[in-house]
Structure 1
Amino acid sequence: MRPIVTLLTDFGTADGYVAEMKGVLLTSVPDATVVDVTHDVPSQDVEAGRLAVARYWRRFPPGTVHIAVVDPGVGSSRAALAVASDGRFLVGPDNGLLSPALLAQGARVVALPVPPHAAPTFHGRDVFAPAAALLLQGVPLDSLGMPHDTPVVRRTAEAHRLADGTVAGQVITIDRFGNAITNLVTRGAAEVSVGGYTLAVRRSYADVEPGAVVALTGSNGLVEIAVRDGSAAQRLGLARGAPVLLRALR
């Protein structure tokens, strides 16, 4: 199987930055399959990038190398990381972006050296892409840098149960459809209260009429608030951190 490398950035596609990284990769590994996960992570939004990484990194075959670059601290003293986790590799900045893989049991982490010629504003091209190319060629992780035992780890805020049994959570991200994804889970009948609405948790968007607000369990297992054929974020004025309450129904 051809080696696979994925790219997630906040670079957009208008300026050629992504193409420069691909040029480095394909010069070193011409037969690589390069997968663009997204380059539309909101600028410098490490948390949005982390949540995106969590969705896909294990969906690719073992041996895949994931490059993730949302790096507002580029050029600072923050470390550059390469990670081996659950049979895959991840390369990116030490700012919590790679947390989903760092939290997996048995993850190994090294800090990559920054070459003297590396542009202090573009480690994606000059640090992360070259390291990923070496991993694609089968170079052992441990030979790329020194062990790094204290990587920055971000975790999703945990929901908590109130005295009356209600579970208090929050919106953790807004997707491109305007759906408000929460940190809540439910395995039975339940209702949520958010933005002035109280909603029974439904099975799918199609369970309500067009334009109606709906709560449902999304494909990642988390409760989300949506507007069928519309934007819940706009309709309800929701943003990251907005409170959401969940009550189990008997």
Structure 2
Amino acid sequence: MPPTITLLSDFGSADGFPAAIKAGILKRLPDATFIDITHDIAPQNVAAASFVLGQVAPRFPARTVHLAVVDPGVGSDRVPLILISPGGHKYVAPDNGLLTHVVAHSGPLKNVPHEHGFLEPYRAEVPDRWAAYEIDPGRAASELSNTFHGRDLFGPVAALLAHGAAPQGLGDRVGEITCLNVPGPSSGGDSLSGRIQYIDHFGNAATNIREADLTDIEIIVACRKFVADGPVDSYAAASGPGAIIASHGFLELFETNGSAAARYSLAVGDRVTVTSRVEA
């Protein structure tokens, strides 16, 4: 079976950057199969890239190689990384928090500093049964520009891994990686307080509140001027603002046939309050 390599980036489609990465991989691995997760992440938006990667990549078969490049620190001393999951998925990415939602599938992350703000980066222990390696460019790249590590470093490493190279042959194992601070919601009195962590292109706002966090069957969800009863069973069940446990598993704020983000000026980081409809 030809090796599968997924790609996610903020490169867009206008300038040919994704094609340049694929061209370099095909020179090394002519039978590679590419799946584009997306190249439309907003420029330098590591948090959005992490959320999308975490929702999509683990659904691929084991041994898939995932190449993710949203890299504001390209050319600096930020670390290039290989991350291997317990199920055999292989991730190649800058060590800047992009892999946060991928490793979060294993459970709560360790070393989370309480003083860090929402989505701020910090150093976290690599979860049990995972393995991380700091890529040594000298072992993988024949030439390395200061501005396009996706083509010159991450692409060649992805090709080598897909061809069967051992990650320890490409770099030294490390015990910590950079993650973004995405805590669970906090409770106080009769309410639950969370945050918006991602807004999709429909204008739907995903929070950090999971179904398991909700103890009441009927709730009221509020954020800025957004107020809705929930959770509803479908987007069609509300005639305006609504709240639903979406396919990604988080409580989501939406506007029927519209953009909740645009109509209510919602933004990533906004606080979301959940109260019991019975108590209200």
Per the normalisation by structure 1, the TM-score is 0.94
In the other structure, the counterpart of 2:270 is 242
In the other structure, the counterpart of 2:210 is 185
Deviations 1:5-59 (A, max 9, x none): 0000000011111111000111111111100110000000101111111101210
Alignment of 1:65-84 (within 5 A): 65-84=65-84
Q: Is contact 1:214-1:228 (8 Å) kept?
A: yes
- CA–CA distance in 2 between the matches of 1:234 and 1:77? 37
In the other structure, the counterpart of 2:195 is 170
- State the secondary structure of the residue aligned to 2:177: coil
In the other structure, the counterpart of 1:137 is 163
Q: Is contact 1:171-1:243 (8 Å) kept?
A: yes
Q: CA shift at 1:148, angstroms?
A: 1.9
- CA–CA distance in 2 between the matches of 1:77 and 1:138? 28
In the other structure, the counterpart of 1:227 is 255
One-letter amino acid of the counterpart of residue 142, structure 1: Q
- CA–CA distance in 2 between the matches of 1:192 and 1:102? 28
The alignment status of 1:109 with 2:139, answered yes or no, reads: no
Change (3 A) 1:129 1:116: closer
Larger deviation: 64-73 or 234-243? Answer: 234-243
Q: Is contact 2:204-2:252 (8 Å) kept?
A: yes
Q: CA shift at 1:149, angstroms?
A: 1.9
In the other structure, the counterpart of 1:38 is 38
- CA–CA distance in 2 between the matches of 1:34 and 1:233? 32
Change (3 A) 1:157 1:134: same
Q: CA shift at 1:249, angstroms?
A: 4.3
- CA–CA distance in 2 between the matches of 1:190 and 1:140? 50
- CA–CA distance in 1 between the matches of 2:100 and 2:229? 32
Aligned partner (choices 130, 144, 147) of residue 118 of structure 1 = 144
**Matched residue count:** 247
- Runs of 4+ in structure 1 deviating by more than 6 angstroms, as ranges, are none
Give the superposed CA RMSD. 1.5
Q: CA shift at 1:158, angstroms?
A: 2.2
Change (3 A) 1:102 1:194: closer
The alignment status of 1:213 with 2:241, answered yes or no, reads: yes
- CA–CA distance in 2 between the matches of 1:169 and 1:59? 26
One-letter amino acid of the counterpart of residue 207, structure 1: A
Q: CA shift at 1:141, angstroms?
A: 1.3
In the other structure, the counterpart of 1:47 is 47
One-letter amino acid of the counterpart of residue 26, structure 1: L
- CA–CA distance in 2 between the matches of 1:99 and 1:107? 13
Q: Is contact 1:46-1:97 (8 Å) kept?
A: yes
- CA–CA distance in 1 between the matches of 2:2 and 2:135? 25
One-letter amino acid of the counterpart of residue 219, structure 2: A
- CA–CA distance in 2 between the matches of 1:197 and 1:142? 50
- State the secondary structure of the residue aligned to 1:37: strand
Q: Where in structure 1 are there 5+ consecutive unaligned residues?
A: none
Deviations 1:105-163 (A, max 9, x none): 3111111122472001010001100000011111111111111222112231321001x
Q: Is contact 1:101-1:107 (8 Å) kept?
A: no
One-letter amino acid of the counterpart of residue 223, structure 2: V
User: Kindly, what percent of the aligned residue pairs are identical?
Assistant: 37
- CA–CA distance in 2 between the matches of 1:137 and 1:116? 17
Larger deviation: 9-18 or 177-186? Answer: 177-186
- CA–CA distance in 1 between the matches of 2:277 and 2:201? 30
